[in-house]
A = this chain, B = another copy of it.
Amino acid sequence: MKISAIVTLKKDVLDPQGKVVSQTLRNMGYDNIINVRQGKYFEIELNEINKEKAKKKVEEICKNLLTNIVIEDYTINLK
Residues of A within 8 A of B (CB): 6-8, 18, 21, 24-25, 28, 30, 32-48, 57, 61, 64-66
Contact = CB atoms under 8 A, between A and B. Distances in A.
B43 A39 contact: yes
Nearest to A66: B21
Copies in the complex: 2
A42 B33 contact: no
Contacts of A41: 6-8, 38-41
Contacts of A37: 42-43
Contact of A24 (B30, B44, B48, B65): B65
A38 B42 contact: yes
Given A40-B40, A40-B41, A41-B41, A34 B21 contact: no
